[in-house]
Amino acid sequence: MNLLITGGCGFIGSNFVRYWLEQHPDDQVVVYDKLTYAGRRENLHDLWDRPNLSLVVGDIADQALVRCTCQEHGTELIVNFAAETHVDQSILGPLVFTDTNVRGTHVLLEVARELGVRLHHISTDEVYGHIPDGHQSVETDPLAPRSPYAASKAAADQLVQAYHITYGLPVTITRGANNVGPYQYPEKAVPLFSTNAILGELLPVYGDGRQMRDYAHVYDHCTGIEAVLLRGQVGEVYNVGTGREMTNLEMVDIVLETLGQDHSLVRHVTDRPGHDRRYSMNVDKLRGLDWEPRYDPRQAVAEAARWYAGNRWWWEPIRSGEFRDYYERQYAGRLAGKVEG
C-alpha cells in the first residue's frame, strides 16, 4: 500500500512510521510534514536511507502541493497526524491552530475527495471536554471542547465525519488519550518533567495537580490505529487509550521515582486557564477489533521517563535552543511567583 503520513516527523507520527514499516516492510511511506518546531527529521534518523520512505516538506493547507504529492506517489491512504498540538501554545497564539488543524484537515479532505483516497484522521480525547467523575466518554458522546486546541481538533473531527456523510468519503477517526513515549517534544508534561528532573530543575505542576489524565504509551496508540486501518469500519470513530487515569501528582511521583530524583523539585504554579480537570475514555469499541493495550499508564510513564534518561542526544539540543524562549515565557513568572491555581 502507498501511504501519505502527514505530521510523520512529530512525536506520534514518527512512532507510527517506525511501527508501520516494521509491520508492513513492503509498503511505500511518504512523510508529508511542515517541519514546525515539533517536527524533527531526527525522529526518524535511522530510517531515512530506506528506499520505501521519503519526506516531502510542506503544509497540509497547501492544496496544490498535497494534490501533486498524492498523484506523484499514487497515495491510497492518508493518515493525518499533522497538527499544532500543545494546549498552552494554543492559549498563547491560537490562530495557527485554526490554520493547520481546521483548514489543513479540510484541504486534505478535499484532495482525498478529488482523488478518491481513504483518509484516517487522528483526533483526541480533548474534543469531549472535561469529563465528570463516574463517566467515561464513548464515541457517540457530544463534543464539548474547552481550549483553542481542543476546539480546532473538534472542528476537524466533525469535518471528517461530514465528508463521510455528505460525499461518502471513506474515512475513519481515532481519538487518542494523552500519549507518552520516545520523541515527544519537551513542551508536554511527561517529557518536560522528565528532562527537568534529569537536569535537577523544578517541575512546574499547574494548580493542585489533581487533574486526571490517561497516560497511554504511544506504542498502543500505533497498534490501535493499525487495528482501525486493517479491521475498522469506514465512517466510524474509535477511542484509543488505556481506559485508566491517574492524577498529575501521581504521574510526577512515577517520573521522580524512575529517575531517582527528590520530591522537593515539585512546584505548584499558577494553573492553566480553562484547565480540563479530567479526561477519561471507554475503549471497548476498539477492543472489539481484537486490540488490547500492552502498557498500563504507570508502566507507560516510567518507560517514557527512562527513554529521556537514555536519549539526551535527542532533547539536549532542543532544550538549549529555541525551546528556551518558550520556556521563559511560559514558566519564568510562574516559577518565580505565588501559586494562584
For every residue of 43-72, DSSP letters joined together read GGTTTTT-TTEEEEE--TT-HHHHHHHHHH
Residue 276 as a binder of ligand NAD (CB under 6 A): the answer is no
Identify the H or E element spanning 291.
none
Chain centre distance of CA 274: 20
Q: How far is the CB of 15 from ligand TYD (least distance, A)?
A: 16
Q: Does 192 bind ligand TYD (CB under 6 A)?
A: yes
Which one of ligand NAD, ligand TYD, none is in contact with 60 (Cβ closer than 5 to 8 A by kind)? ligand NAD
Determine whether 149 is an active site residue.
Answer: yes
Q: Which is nearer to ligand TYD, 41 or 272 (CB)?
A: 272
Q: Does 10 bind ligand NAD (CB under 6 A)?
A: yes
Stretch near ligand NAD under the rule CB under 6 A, chosen from 19-27, 55-63, 159-167, 245-253 = 55-63
Among residues 59, 125, 226, 245, the one annotated as catalytic is 125
User: Residue 156 and residue 249: Cα distance in Å, rounded?
Assistant: 32
Rg (CA), the chain: 19
Residue list 29-48, contact with ligand TYD (CB under 6 A): none
Question: Contact, 5 vs 31, CB < 8 A?
Answer: yes
Specify the residue for cell string 485554526: 98
- Tell me the window of 46-54, 58-66, 314-322, 328-336 that interacts with ligand NAD (CB under 6 A): 58-66
**Among the options 128, 149, 206, 279, which is catalytic?**
149
C-alpha cell, 265: 523539585
Indicate whether 248 belongs to the interface with ligand NAD (CB under 6 A): no
Q: Is 61 in the site for ligand NAD (CB under 6 A)?
A: yes
Residue 303, helix vs strand vs coil:
helix
Rounded distance, CA 28 to CA 25, Å? 8
Which residue number, 69 or 196, has a Cβ lying nearer to ligand TYD? Answer: 196
- Per rule CB under 6 A, is residue 179 in the interface with ligand TYD? no
What is the distance between the alpha carbons of residues 105 and 285, in angstroms, rounded to a whole number? Answer: 25
CA-based nearest residue to 211, from 261, 182, 252: 252
Contact mark string toward ligand TYD, 117..156, x via CB under 6 A: ---------x------------------------------
| Contact in structure between 129 and 146 (CB atoms under 8 Å) | yes
- Smallest gap from Cβ 182 to ligand TYD, in A, equals 15
Tell me the C-alpha distance between 338 and 269, whole Å.
7
Q: According to the binding rule CB under 6 A, does residue 178 interact with ligand TYD?
A: yes
CA–CA gap between residue 207 and residue 65 (Å, rounded): 44
Sole window of 28-36, 157-165, 244-252, 298-306 interacting with ligand NAD (rule: CB under 6 A): 28-36
CB-side neighbour CA atoms (13 Å) of 243: 13
Please select the residue that binds ligand TYD; options are 18, 121, 164, 188, rule is CB under 6 A: 188
> 30, 31, 87, 108: which one contacts ligand TYD (CB under 6 A)?
87
| DSSP labels, 204-220 | EEETTS--EE--EEHHH
Residues contacting ligand NAD: total by CB under 6 A:
30
Contacts of 43 (CB under 8 A, 6+ apart): 9, 10, 11, 14, 183
Residue 214 is a catalytic residue: no
Query: Of 5, 6, 127, 182, which one interacts with ligand NAD (CB under 6 A)?
Result: 6
Cα–Cα distance for residue pair 169/107, rounded to 1 Å: 14
What is the three-class DSSP state of 147?
Answer: coil
How far is residue 261 CA from its own chain's centroid? 27
Shortest Å, Cβ 253 to ligand TYD: 13
**Footprint of ligand NAD (CB under 6 A):** 6-7, 9-13, 33-36, 38-39, 59-61, 81-85, 100, 104, 122, 124, 153, 176, 178-179, 185
**Footprint of ligand TYD (CB under 6 A):** 87-88, 126, 178, 188-189, 192, 204-206, 211, 213, 248
Q: Which residues are catalytic, by number? A: 125-126, 149
